[in-house]
Structure 1
Amino acid sequence: MRHTKLLTAASAAALLAAAPVAAKDLVYGSWLGSNNATNTNALQPYFDMVREATDGEINWEMVSGAQLANGPATPEAVGANMMDGGIVMAPYQPRMLPATNMLFSQSLIGDDFIAATGAMNEVMMLGCPACQEEYERNDAVGFAGYSVSPYLFMCRDDVETMEDLQSKKIRASGGGVGIVELMGATPVSMPPSDATSALERGTIDCVLGSVQWLRSFGYMDVTDTVVEAPMGMGGPPIMMYVNRGVWEDMTPEQRQAHIDLAPDLVAMETFDAQLAEDESAVAEAKERGITFVEGGQPFDDLMARHDERQYQRNADAARDAGVEDPEALIDAYLAAYEKWKGISEEIGRDRDAFRDALDREIYSKVDPDEM
């Protein structure tokens, strides 16, 4: 009889081993619109790649358009497991994410978008223990940050000079707030999705943001002028901000698949959801009669003054928010930016080379079980 029971147990174990693992259906809440390029050209292809890499065991389903949570509410919604993952912008919740917010507030000067994106990912994943600790403190893990192309002023009226902007109310976030203040204008904090109606009503006069927002947030219909002067690059928005319990419930192989494919996600966001959309949005805007005004030396001088003062202001604000040794973190960030400028010069606009560099320099060094 005992022999029979052993055989039965062994047979049951064999059947269990042969049975397919039940798929996990996970909900990703995006506050971006359903047709936003970050959703369609980056996140959805990434979810498809994760599904394939895990043999269908991990199935991310996107719910877009802030149906589950808007931008400011996303960190809390993910931490409370109201949704399994989402896009997080630290300036919307600076008290929850003070170290990441400090990175966001440090404008990277220039227009090397590839280098900025590489630096943001490297510091967030490898050079900012405080960032990882604050994600854990808020019951989440975070990876796959991105940058946007250099911010520009997009205004509802005709603008020709910096003096024209000084009387304006301008939507800004992160390092852009300091730039607007230094210029003598009034910064207004709001999600970019809310700025469309605010521009239309005249609640604000301009937005300081990525030129592709003309299309992705509908500014095309309420904008008359774009000032072509790079006003710094900020980030990282975190594309994969995942509930910690959900992450820990995955198998090691499933977590590794997410990290292995993170360079693909960042590269798709950079090339397919940012660069390509920027070029297309500019072409459409010009066809529709939006005026592009060259900024010139006054804006270069403004950015030089901003850069002189932002280091200590950001460090002091972060220290007041509880970040230890913020200068070391900013130094690591600026050093990573210089390093990635060299990488950017080598790879140019080669999408696959950028993906490989992200893997080599960053994500191959990340242990998903230690996040």
Structure 2
Amino acid sequence: MSRVPGRFASALSVAVLAAFLAGPAHAERKLVYASAVGAKHPVHTTGVEPFFAKVQAETGGSLSFELFPGGTIAGGKQTLAAIGNGTADMGLLADIYTPNDLPVSAMLSDLAALGKDARVMTGAVNQTLLLDCSACKQDYLEDGVLPLASYSLTPYYFMCAKVQIKSAADVAGKKV
């Protein structure tokens, strides 16, 4: 069974708890989380849901979360706006869908796609986004959003019946 790594969960817990504690003292609060990906996506099952459970346990249930997966309240392009207008309190943002609002962050995500190992790129993107790139943070803060973590996609592969595609040259003349 996969679970949220300790340091990652602790860092996120501190960030969410700090936001929670900034509100009214001891008030119960349910945060709405919008996500465009399906309920069974690993980002939910191995990341978001265990994190939510840990935070809820650490706060004695005074902070809870409601996950709206599969674009039920906001698709990938609408999540930033949904957070901005109060439809959601938090969500899975894909900055590549909102490059006009998050230009530096979107460029960072584009660069992450050049890597060969998603685990390495996830670490590099998180370090850059959360620690080293003030322009990235400013992108989010201008929209009233605080990034907690990011991840890099795994490489895409062509699945072909008769031809192997290993390079861009192999795609030339093919219908994709």
Q: Give yes or no for TM over 0.5.
A: yes
* Pair 1:98 & 2:131 matched: no
Unaligned runs of 5+ in 2: 1-24
Q: Identify the residue that residue 147 of structure 1 maps to in structure 2.
A: 152
Q: Which of 75, 82, 93 is matched with 2:80 structurally?
A: 75
Q: Secondary structure of 2:66's match?
A: strand
Q: Secondary structure of 2:109's match?
A: helix
Quote the offset at 1:153 in angstroms: 2.4
Quote the offset at 1:134 in angstroms: 1.4
Q: Identify the residue that residue 61 of structure 2 maps to in structure 1.
A: 56
* Pair 1:36 & 2:41 matched: yes
Residues 168 and 31 of structure 1, relative CA distance in 2, 3 Å threshold: farther
Quote the offset at 1:90 in angstroms: 1.1
* Pair 1:111 & 2:119 matched: no
Tell me, in whole angstroms, the C-alpha distance in 1 between the residues paired with 2:144 and 2:173: 42
Residues 110 and 144 of structure 1, relative CA distance in 2, 3 Å threshold: closer
Residues 97 and 157 of structure 1, relative CA distance in 2, 3 Å threshold: farther
Contact persistence 1:159–1:165 (CA under 8 A)? no
Residues 38 and 107 of structure 1, relative CA distance in 2, 3 Å threshold: closer
Q: Which of 106, 123, 135 is matched with 2:128 structurally?
A: 123
Query: Which structure shows the bigger proportion of residues in strand conformation?
Result: 1
Structural mapping, 1:115-194, within 5 Å: 115-149=120-154, 151-155=155-159, 158-161=162-165, 162=167, 163-168=169-174
The number of equivalent residue pairs is 150
* Pair 1:84 & 2:85 matched: no
Tell me, in whole angstroms, the C-alpha distance in 2 between the residues paired with 1:131 and 1:40: 27
Structural mapping, 1:240-259, within 5 Å: none
Q: Secondary structure of 1:152's match?
A: coil
Contact persistence 1:31–1:69 (CA under 8 A)? yes
Q: Secondary structure of 1:43's match?
A: helix
Q: Which of 24, 27, 40 is matched with 2:32 structurally?
A: 27
Unaligned runs of 5+ in 1: 1-19, 170-204, 206-371
Tell me, in whole angstroms, the C-alpha distance in 2 between the residues paired with 1:87 and 1:131: 16
Contact persistence 1:26–1:60 (CA under 8 A)? yes
Quote the offset at 1:156 in angstroms: 5.9
Quote the offset at 1:115 in angstroms: 2.5
- 1:154-199 CA-partner distances (Å, limit 9, x unpaired): 3465432444412356xxxxxxxxxxxxxxxxxxxxxxxxxxxxxx
Tell me, in whole angstroms, the C-alpha distance in 2 between the residues paired with 1:51 and 1:64: 19
Query: Which structure shows the bigger proportion of residues in helix conformation?
Result: 1
State percent identity of aligned pairs: 30
Tell me, in whole angstroms, the C-alpha distance in 2 between the residues paired with 1:167 and 1:75: 38
Residues 160 and 98 of structure 1, relative CA distance in 2, 3 Å threshold: same
Q: Identify the residue that residue 210 of structure 1 maps to in structure 2.
A: none
TM-score by length of 2: 0.76
Quote the offset at 1:21 in angstroms: 2.4
Quote the offset at 1:30 in angstroms: 1.3
